[in-house]
Copies of this chain bind each other. A is one copy, B any other.
Amino acid sequence: MPQDKHTNRRLLLASRPHGAPTEANFRLESQHVPEPAAGQVLLRTVWLSLDPYMRGRMSDAPSYVPPVAINEVMCGGTVSVVERSEHADFAAGDWVLGYSGWQDFALSNGEELVKLSGPVLKHPSWALGMLGMPGFTAYMGLLDIGNPQAGETVVVAAATGAVGSLVGQIAKLKGCHVVGIAGGAEKCRYAEEVLGFDRCLDHRDDNLAEQLSRHCADGIDVYFESVGGKVFNAVLPLMNTKGRIPVCGLIADYNSTGERSGPDRLPQLQSAILRKRLRVQGFIITQDYGHRFEEFFTQMSKWVAEGRLVFREDIIDGLDNAPEAFIGMLEGKNFGKVVVRVAGDKPS
């Protein structure tokens, strides 16, 4: 069902998932397109970003931001076109990065909007990827917390995903030995042949720990954690003294429910942190590094312009396919950054 200029399709959170989300947790409804009041703009969504953090917002467990309420529109970053403006700073036809969520149209008072201009307009969805939140996460987590030095070994999970693919490529630009971990032979081949990683291992292989040990012959200096789960078990024994572990996500655990059965791996981690003097640090990109966006954007745009970075998008057509795509992403079915093409890429 294509976008229609009189109807606002909205995907609401219908119920909270217990474990993995299902399509029943979402409900599609339509309403009339709202009218902008004075000081507001009406935005039409062109691109919607799907990101793992959204799983957290579906639950009402304590988190760093409040959850999405039941019967509220699912949250999400969007690239939109201004349809009508009653706001002095915006004109119809402007492209903006915003947070309209999973819907066709939204009103905004302009506060959270960033007007897109320059090279990103050639490829507006990159504002949700390489030049947006995932790129910013990769850049700051790797460089500020990971602090990789030339010749060091960097391991990155979810190696072909939005964040992981950039972590590995930036680490290569810094002269590191880069080993990725991904799900399936095709992704691994892509990481090595297209992204230029030194090696990419399949986490589905039984002997992941043994392979990782072989391909990280000098140990691991930086592990960029976005996955959690069993990959961490393989990584921890290989961490070098003074190793760094930036933690930006734990996608493997997002769907888990309640207590995990043993063995208890906590003492093992504590012991490794002590003996190897590791630094393990979580971060939330906008909250910890919001003030450094400019620095990231300038450097990253330069690398993009020089053709030094590859960024693969997994494009889903149509808002109504967002729930299925989101559920698949949490299972690792995506290949690249998941973006939903809600409407045509060109201004209408």
Chain A residues in contact with chain B, CB under 8 A? 62-64, 225, 228, 232, 241, 247-250, 253, 256, 259-284, 287-288
Known: A63-B275, A275-B64. A267 touches B281 (CB 8 A): no
Residue of B nearest to A276 (CB): B282
Q: Contacts of A225 on B, CB cut-off 8 Å? A: 270
A307 smallest CB distance to B (angstroms): 33
The copy count of this chain in the complex is 2
Known: A276-B282, A280-B280. A267 touches B260 (CB 8 A): yes
Residue of B nearest to A237 (CB): B62
A52 to B269, alpha carbons, bound, how many Å?
A: 19
A104 to B268, alpha carbons, bound, how many Å?
A: 37
Q: Contacts of A248 on B, CB cut-off 8 Å? A: 274
With A248-B274, A260-B264 given, can you name 20 additional A-B contacts, CB distance below 8 Å?
A62-B275, A63-B275, A64-B275, A232-B266, A247-B273, A247-B274, A249-B274, A250-B271, A253-B271, A256-B267, A259-B262, A261-B263, A262-B264, A263-B264, A264-B265, A265-B266, A266-B269, A273-B281, A277-B288, A278-B280
Q: Contacts of A280 on B, CB cut-off 8 Å? A: 273, 278-281
Q: Which listed residue, B228, B263, B274, B278, touches A270 by the CB 8 Å rule?
A: B228
A260 touches B263 (CB 8 A): yes
A269 smallest CB distance to B (angstroms): 6
Interface residues of A: mostly helix, strand, loop or mixed? mixed
B262 touches A261 (CB 8 A): yes
A278 touches B274 (CB 8 A): no
A62 to B272, alpha carbons, bound, how many Å?
A: 10
List, sorted by A's number, 21 A–B pairs whose CB atoms are closer than 8 Å.
Answer: A62-B275, A63-B275, A64-B275, A225-B270, A228-B270, A232-B266, A247-B274, A253-B270, A259-B262, A261-B262, A262-B263, A264-B264, A265-B266, A266-B266, A266-B269, A274-B282, A276-B282, A277-B281, A277-B282, A277-B284, A277-B288
A270 touches B241 (CB 8 A): no
A267 touches B253 (CB 8 A): yes
Q: Contacts of A282 on B, CB cut-off 8 Å? A: 272-279
Known: A267-B256, A270-B253. A276 touches B64 (CB 8 A): yes
Q: Contacts of A264 on B, CB cut-off 8 Å? A: 259-266
A152 to B3, alpha carbons, bound, how many Å?
A: 52
A287 smallest CB distance to B (angstroms): 7
Residue of B nearest to A244 (CB): B281
Known: A247-B273, A266-B265, A266-B266. A64 touches B260 (CB 8 A): no
A137 smallest CB distance to B (angstroms): 12
A308 smallest CB distance to B (angstroms): 29
A241 to B65, alpha carbons, bound, how many Å?
A: 12
A267 smallest CB distance to B (angstroms): 5
A269 touches B267 (CB 8 A): no
Most chain B CB atoms below 10 A, which of A250, A270, A284: A270
Q: Contacts of A275 on B, CB cut-off 8 Å? A: 62-64, 282
Q: Which listed residue, B241, B247, B262, B278, touches A281 by the CB 8 Å rule?
A: B278
